[in-house]
Each structure stands twice: as C-alpha cells, then as structure tokens.
Amino acid sequence: MLLSDLLDLIKKGNSNFISANIVEDLNIEDAASLDEADNHQISFLEENNTLKEKLDLTKASAIITCNNHEIVSSLKKLEISNIIVKNPRIAFAEVLNCLYKPINFKTGIHDSAVIDKTAIIGADCHIGPNVYIGENTVIGDNNHILPGTSILGNVRIGDNNIIHPNCVIYEYTTLKNNCVINSNTVIGSEGFGFIPKDGKWVKMPQKGGVKIMSFVEIGTNCCVDRPSVGFTFIDEGTKLDNLVQIGHGVKIGKNCAFAAQVGIAGGAVIGDGVILAGQVGVNNRVKVGNKVIASSKCGIHCDIDDGMVISGFPAMNNKSWLRSSSIFKKLPELAKKLRQLDKQ
C-alpha cells in the first residue's frame, strides 16, 4: 500500500491528524518496531520513548509520531517521511488493521461439530471442527466459533463474536456482541464456594451464571466463575489480559483493563475505567471506585475511593508507598540505632 494511502487512512481515523511530510511515496509492505524496521516498513514513536535517542539508526521508510519539536526536527534532517498525530499509538493500530487483514473464516458448520437439535445457530456463522453446542443454546449472527470449543446448554451468544480454539462456556452464560474470547479460557465454571463444618468442607451449589456485555475482550487461560445465585458481570468495553481470575459474583464496570495474573475474589465490585497492573489482588467483597489505577502486585484489602492511584501490599496511596519503599532498605540500620539508644 502506498504511503499516501496510509496517510489518507490516518486522516480519517481517530488519532487526531496534525500534519505530514512525505519524502517519497513508497509502497509500505509491512510495519515494525522502530529499532527493527527496514526499508518499505512503517513504525511509530511516542514522545517518552527512549528510542528517540537512536533515530539515526532506524531504517524505517516512514514514522508516525507526535508533535514534538525535537523528534520532528530529527526526522526532517534524516529525510524520513513522517506523519504527525496527537496519538501515534492509535494511528499505528489503524495502520496495522489495514496492512494485516484477519483470516476470513468460511461460513458453515464443520462436519465434526456436535450441535444439539434444540440449539439455534444464526446466519453467517463459522462453527469449526470438534465444536460442541449444548441444548437450548442460542447463537446469533456472524459468530466465529473455532475448533475444540465447548458451549454448554442454555447459553446466549449475540452477534459478531470470536471465540478462539478450546474455550469452554458453561451453562447460563450470556455473551453479548462484538466480543473476543481467546484460547483456553473458561467462562461460567463453578465458583469456589465451600462452607466449613466439623473440620470438613460442605459444597455450596453454584447455580448462577455469567453475563458479559458487548466489546469485551478476554485473553488466553482466563477463568470467569459463576456464583451460587445471581450473576458474575463484566460490563462493556472491558479488556482482560491472559491468566486473569474473576471470582464468583464479581461485578466489573465499563472500559476496565486488567493485566496478566490479576485475581479478583468473590463478590468484589470494580467501578468503571479501572486499571489493574500485573498480579494485582482484590479481596472478596471489596469495592474499587471508578478510574482507580493499581500498580503491579498491589494488594487491595479495603474499599478504594474514585480516582485513586494505589500501590503496595496492603494498598496505599501511591505517593505514600513511594516514600515508604525508599525507607524499607534502611530499616535494619534504623532498628540497630534504636537498639543502641535503648541501651543508653
């Protein structure tokens, strides 16, 4: 695709185009990171990226970047075509979607698929090899259900979803529209509910379900458990990385983002726009407010107000955590001095 065509695409996109300097209208064959890009490839550079110090080493034919005077001046001197936008990452994502077309799955049901006679399959669906679909399940239009996936009974799936290989969707799960469920994820498995009695554990039946709204994306090897009654709920636009555990009865708001190995215990309530970094843990029945940001390995044991940035274990205000962590390594020395003072 010609660079000028990609420029037209970016102008029409959501990255807030500012200006462009096309040195040569080359054919762009591929995209790559700045340090690995070659001729006829396009890359992107953000203002805070350390690679800007090595611009003279790149072989990229074009670079999408921000309106930073230092970067733009360097690109001009190096005679590298550049496209200036407010959000280079958004523009680069739009370019990737243009350069790399998704696999076109053929409409139809593979001969090896097992589908209960009471199930309803909508128009233009792709049902791959060895898929199982249980009784009274309703699947909407234009869904791609890839090999080895099992969808049990009484499931409701909307339109335009992609369910990747070897997923399991348990009974009484609802999946709305335009969702992506990546491989080996399990939705609606039994919640971890046991009652202690006489030194043993009595199982609490998990008879609820899971409701996942539109535009949700779930990574590989995630688990979303169902509760004993009611529903585990994930609102629209939320994104889960790989290896995320959502406990029974959890309620998650809109447009959240959880990185790998986040674990949320049963009954927790997460607000809208919450960002949880890798390995964050949330205690059961805790309420996390809207637009909270929790840094990696944060342990959330109590309710968190809207808009807070938290760190540490147990979680505290990020600024307090930074001050505290700078003191931790000095604790042995401080303890030694305190013991010496006690002896005086």
Give me the catalytic one of 126, 164, 248, 301.
248
Note the pTM of the prediction, 2 decimals. 0.88
Residue found under tokens 């309530």: 269
To the nearest whole number, what is the mean pLDDT of the chain? 94
List pLDDT tens digits, range 30-79: 999 999 999 999 999 998 887 777 888 999 999 999 999 999 999 999 99
Collapsing DSSP states into helix, strand and coil, what is residue 311?
strand
H helix runs in the chain, sequence order = 3-12, 69-78, 88-99, 318-328, 331-343
List pLDDT tens digits, range 226-274: 999 999 999 999 999 999 999 999 999 999 999 999 999 999 999 999 9
130-317 CATH, one of 3.30.200.20, 3.40.50.300, 3.50.50.60, 2.160.10.10:
2.160.10.10
Check if the beta carbon of residue 235 is closer than 8 Å to that of residue 213.
yes
- Domains of the chain, by residue range, sit at 3-99, 130-317
Active site residue 126: no
CA 46, 62, 21, 96 dihedral sign is negative
Strand-pair category, 245-246 with 223-226: parallel
Q: Could you name the CATH architecture of 3-99?
A: 3-Layer(aba) Sandwich (3.40)
Least confident of 98-102, 152-156, 231-235, 239-243: 98-102
Residues 6+ apart with CB under 8 A from 141: 122, 123, 124, 125, 159, 160
Q: What is the length of the chain?
A: 344
Tell me: pLDDT of 196 over 90. yes
Q: What are phi and psi of 310, to 5 degrees?
A: -125, 155
Sheet architecture: strand order including 30-31: 17-21, 81-85, 62-65, 41-45, 30-31
